[in-house]
Structure 1
Amino acid sequence: MEDGGSLQSQARTEIEMAEEDDGRTRTGTVWTATAHVITAVIGSGVLALPWSVAQMGWIIGPIALIAFAYVTYYTAILLADCYRTPDRVKGRRNYTYMDVVQSSLGPRDVFLCGLVQYISLWGTMVGYTITATTSIMEVARSNCNHYKGHDASCSVSGTLYMIIFGLVQIVLSQFPSMEKITLLSVLAALMSFVYSIIGLSLCIAKFVSHHSVRGTILGVKVGGVDGVSAPNRTWNTLQALGNLAFAYTYSQILIEIQDTLKSPPPENRTMKRATLYGVSITTIFYVSLGCIGYAAFGNSSPGNILTGFQEPFWLVDIANIAVLIHLLGAYQVYAQPIYGKYEAWLAKKWPGSAFFNKVYTIEIPPLKGREIRFTMCKLILRTIIVIVTTVISLMLPFFNSIMGLIGALGFWPSTVYYPITVYMVQAKIKRGQQKWVALQCLSIATLVVSVLAAIGSVVGIVQSLKHVTLFKVEL
């Protein structure tokens, strides 16, 4: 009896500890947060890393990879300290990235931050739709080449695949919040390891097969049979910087992830550990895959590394299927903050409207005790967002250029400028102090990189539009 009473008392204590000061129950730990971080960071950007390194060469390429990793980690730990204000441990909670900005800056910054954040999140959803479709198309093409021969004509259309991916996301979009997709996020994180390891293994095998390190000090050459024109060389290099920025961007959902954490220990301490683990693990994969992939393919590295392999076809298929599964989950990690923000705003603006506030419940007979809860706003508007995302993806199915543009637009404001600015306000760092000068220099440097990357990516999109038919995705 004493053991039973002790267990019940322990269970009550754990529930009470999970119930936070705002009445919400949070169950997240450093490990679930790490899974969310890895899911968010390791995405389609990893597949473009060898191509990106190829545009910059053996010196600048690896340095750029590590530099983006350090900037992402450093600004993320600054942002983690801003979850509660004004005190980092016992202060008022900021539930979203925009709440953090609002707590320290003015209305103008809140508007601009929200605009940038949600455009970046939505742009990432577009990028993931394109990448997932490319992976499905690669499975179809690799099987065709295996059974019909590598010289066979195996043109694959991805329009239907992209529509199917959108339909699946419509279903997944009905999950109520990020906390409810933890299992999906963990599965997605595991899949990111699968395709990263397979891609790395294939690159190692190709590298070993030709017994030499390919590539050059300065990257892709200008002119000659194997080179490109000087303007294209410039645009591709700038676009590669955007690809790296996209590969490391996740700060815009850091606060949303941190808001799932239970305490004690303090949420900022747990989030810093999760960020360290998540960014470190992804950087190891990034540097390994980017450099070994470049060593294997040299200056002819493909834009999507998995498209450079045809055999063993079954292993290439597994990698592409893993990409697909990962992006099914990662899409929702980026989409849920968008859904949550506008739904809360609409419900508050029209509190008496049944469309925004009336909750409908549907029981699921095969699953005893399970039910689906939704509002008409959630059912209809989330579906519309996914449809619009899919249509835009059909119109602009350009892997590297879209990745570069999304990365360029989102990296400086969401990953660098606002985390630094909010942190300086909360930490009361005065203008002219040594740390103020250092942080401002970091902000200006990344702004220049982002602007140049955006220019290169836009040029890439314009050039690609000359050679495609709208709503026709082919590989």
Structure 2
Amino acid sequence: MDLEKQKIELTEEEKKNINDWLPVTADRNAKWWYAAIHNVTCMVGAGILGLPYAMSQLGWGPGATILVLSWVVTLFTLWQMVEMHEIVPGRRFDRYHELGQYAFGEKLGIWLVVPQQLIVQAGCDIVYMVTGGTCMWQFYSIVCKNCKPIKRSYFIMLFAATQFFISNLPNFNSITTLSFAAAVMSLSYSAIAWIASAMRGVQPHTSYGSRYETNVGNMFGFLSGLGTVAFAFSGHNVVLEIQATIASSPDKPSKKPMWKGSLLAYIIVALCYFPVAFVGYLVFGDTVKDNIVTSLEKPAWLIAAANLFVVIHVMGSYQVFAMPVFDMLESFLVLRLNCKPSRLLRLTTRSTYVAVTMFLGIAFPFFGSLLSVLGGIAFAPTSYYLPCIIWLLICKPKRYSLSWFVNWFCIIFGASLTILAPIGAVREIIVQSSTYKFFS
């Protein structure tokens, strides 16, 4: 929570002590490359492997247009957020909701930003919990074909066990090494996906027509593809929190190193996203599977390595998205419930969060589809157009100026994704509901 607007009886020293304890503001010694690492880790998620499938739902023209347009729009909104971190002299908006409160008002800002931010961050962590366990399970199945089969649920629990341990790292900068390893792994499995596909060459009888037999299927598949693309650009939810870890002064504001790191990260994102999406679709066409690695089928060692890389990546991604949630929870407990900042409080809070994400990941096998619904509602606003609305409210560009037109274009584009993307996922949940088995 924003300490400047909390209990007035807190002294300046008490405020500083609490800020020094909270994970987002505890360490402000990050460098520009820290920002690049964290942004790559949270942007290039395992969902990248589904982009060729999204291309098969959208088609060459619309798919390429929407993917490139999403990259450009979210790069622009990322720049806006970096600029607005210190838009008010002498004050830093260290958290997304603090910027929202300044733009919309104390109460409305909380209700507009925090629920969407939590949906994205906790939702991604649940997906990463499932993804990590599933890839462990697939790695085990590939390298030990004659071993006794083990339920996927146990591998999700094993992945969760690593998060119980890692979650005790105190702040953002303390996970930099893990985040760096995760970023390297994301580059590695992305490269495996598109290079291995390119080496196989375009498959015989490859078609780039519709993968659905009916017009209704085409329409809902197209909408589902929009949701997949929107899901791929969800990193804005931790941008201000990452920037909060960088030192700032009037002579050397944090926006300069933050933008340098963010721009490098977005170049890396492009080098990962576009080859995987375009080469994967080019090679397999409308027969590509929802995970490009499984479309490769062989060699087995390569698929096993890719699964292992994904596991390491989502270990870091889980923490990058979890740190702002830890910050929210610990802020609430200390500032509103008057809990004493302590190691026990941190251990209890974070372990409970990991346990809840593990339980939901095991319990609801359809959460991936459900997240597409929530993703359209929360992912697109926080990355595509909420920064534009805040920019219009705070900076007030002249009506009909270039800035005014660009921001309204981004708002309309992002709002369209918000409305259209969840529809395909809702249909998918309804169609597949008869086959769902809880705690599978």
User: Does the pair score TM above 0.5?
Assistant: yes
Partner of 2:308: 321
Partner of 1:444: 412
Taking the TM superposition and a 5 Å limit, the aligned residue runs for 1:42-441 are 42-87=44-89, 91-106=90-105, 107-143=107-143, 157-207=151-201, 210=203, 214-216=206-208, 219-223=209-213, 229-263=214-248, 265-351=252-338, 356-359=339-342, 374-375=343-344, 377-398=345-366, 401-402=369-370, 404-430=372-398, 433=401, 435-441=403-409
Q: Which SS does the other structure have where 1:84 is aligned? A: coil
- How far off its partner does 1:422 sit? 1.9
- How far off its partner does 1:34 sit? 0.3
Contact 1:130 1:399 in 2 (8 A): no
Contact 1:81 1:423 in 2 (8 A): no
Q: Deviations over 1:423-453 (max 9, x none)?
A: 2233232555553244123202211122211
Decide which moves more: 42-51 or 383-392: 383-392
Q: TM-score, normalised by structure 1?
A: 0.81
Q: Structure 1 232/392 Cα, relative in aligned 2: closer, same or farther at 3 Å?
A: farther
Q: TM-score, normalised by structure 2?
A: 0.88
Contact 2:168 2:346 in 1 (8 A): yes
Distance 1:405 1:304 in 2: 19
Q: Structure 1 434/312 Cα, relative in aligned 2: closer, same or farther at 3 Å?
A: closer
Q: CA RMSD in A?
A: 2.4
Distance 1:430 1:110 in 2: 27
- How far off its partner does 1:250 sit? 0.7
- Amino acid in the other structure paired with 1:440: W
Decide which moves more: 183-192 or 399-408: 399-408
Q: Structure 1 350/411 Cα, relative in aligned 2: closer, same or farther at 3 Å?
A: closer
- How far off its partner does 1:93 sit? 0.9
- Amino acid in the other structure paired with 2:32: V
- Amino acid in the other structure paired with 1:119: I
Contact 2:54 2:228 in 1 (8 A): yes
Q: Tell which structure's C-alpha radius of gyration is larger.
A: 1
Q: Structure 1 24/341 Cα, relative in aligned 2: closer, same or farther at 3 Å?
A: closer
Decide which moves more: 249-258 or 443-452: 443-452
Distance 1:358 1:265 in 2: 32
- How far off its partner does 1:287 sit? 0.8
Partner of 1:13: none
**Identity across matched positions, percent:** 28
- Amino acid in the other structure paired with 1:265: K
Distance 1:180 1:273 in 2: 21
- How far off its partner does 1:41 sit? 0.3
Decide which moves more: 61-70 or 427-436: 427-436
Structure 2 gaps, min length 5: 1-19
Distance 1:30 1:268 in 2: 10
Q: Structure 1 155/202 Cα, relative in aligned 2: closer, same or farther at 3 Å?
A: farther
Q: Deviations over 1:257-294 (max 9, x none)?
A: 11111346321122222221111211121110111111
- How far off its partner does 1:33 sit? 0.7
Contact 2:133 2:158 in 1 (8 A): no
- How far off its partner does 1:191 sit? 0.8
- Amino acid in the other structure paired with 2:200: K
Residues matched between the structures, number? 414
Decide which moves more: 292-301 or 397-406: 397-406
Q: Deviations over 1:221-241 (max 9, x none)?
A: 442xxxxx3323222221111
Q: Structure 1 172/179 Cα, relative in aligned 2: closer, same or farther at 3 Å?
A: same
Q: Structure 1 215/65 Cα, relative in aligned 2: closer, same or farther at 3 Å?
A: farther
Partner of 1:37: 39
Contact 2:385 2:410 in 1 (8 A): no
Distance 2:296 2:120 in 1: 31
Distance 1:285 1:382 in 2: 32
Partner of 1:14: none
Contact 2:125 2:321 in 1 (8 A): yes
Q: Deviations over 1:294-333 (max 9, x none)?
A: 1121101111112223322111111110100000110010
Contact 1:57 1:215 in 2 (8 A): no
Decide which moves more: 338-347 or 424-433: 424-433
Distance 1:319 1:237 in 2: 28
Contact 2:171 2:323 in 1 (8 A): yes
Structure 1 gaps, min length 5: 1-18, 149-153, 224-228, 360-373
- Amino acid in the other structure paired with 2:97: M
Partner of 1:367: none
Q: Which SS does the other structure have where 1:102 is aligned? A: helix
Pick one of 395, 401, 423 that aligns with 1:455.
423
